[in-house]
């Protein structure tokens, strides 16, 4: 697969699966061991946040690896991690590094800002903003 093919594959996961909840499509995009985790987690997350939406902010690829940085938004109207719904809207970020081979994603590593999400849901008291210490260039 080319670097562009790998990026397209990762883009499809966001647009066709994460933003729609169509986990059955994962079988054609990922190996069974990778797909199994998402097939379990995506429905639970979409139950907690029925209006969940992922926006791709950046995508960088080199060789067989792709990094995708996303912003997620949603309103917590269903149970989440054993807690009742809060009715609050939230916006949080995440990054995933995927390794691709043979036209599929074969490995993934996630980094999600669940601390910011839990603050916005009122589960963790507010404090320093999650962006503190980050420097943005003009």
| 7 vs 137, higher pLDDT | 7
pTM above 0.85, yes or no: yes
- Report CA-CA distances (Å) from 25 to 9, 22, 64, 112: 12, 6, 21, 23
Q: What is the mean pLDDT of residues 8-27?
A: 97
Q: What is the pLDDT of residues 60-115, one digit of tens each?
A: 999 999 999 999 999 999 999 999 999 999 999 999 999 999 999 999 999 999 99
30: β partners: 105
With contact defined as beta carbons under 8 Å apart, do 91 and 35 qualify? no
The pLDDT of residue 89 = 97
Confidence bin at 1 (pLDDT 50/70/90): confident
pLDDT band at 130 (very low <50, low <70, confident <90, very high): low
């Amino acid at each position: 697969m080319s670097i562009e093919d790998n990026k397209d594959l990762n883009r499809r996961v966001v647009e066709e699966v994460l933003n729609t909840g169509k986990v059955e499509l994962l079988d054609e995009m990922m190996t069974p061991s990778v797909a199994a985790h998402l097939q379990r987690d995506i429905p639970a997350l979409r139950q907690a946040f029925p209006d969940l939406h992922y926006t791709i902010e950046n995508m960088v690829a080199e060789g067989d690896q792709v990094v995708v940085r996303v912003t997620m938004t949603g309103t917590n109207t269903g149970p989440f991690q054993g807690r009742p719904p809060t009715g609050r809207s939230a916006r949080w970020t995440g990054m995933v590094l995927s390794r691709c081979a043979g036209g599929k994603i074969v490995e993934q590593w996630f980094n999600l800002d669940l601390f910011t999400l839990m603050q916005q849901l009122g589960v963790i008291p507010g404090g320093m903003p999650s962006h503190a210490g980050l420097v943005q260039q003009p």
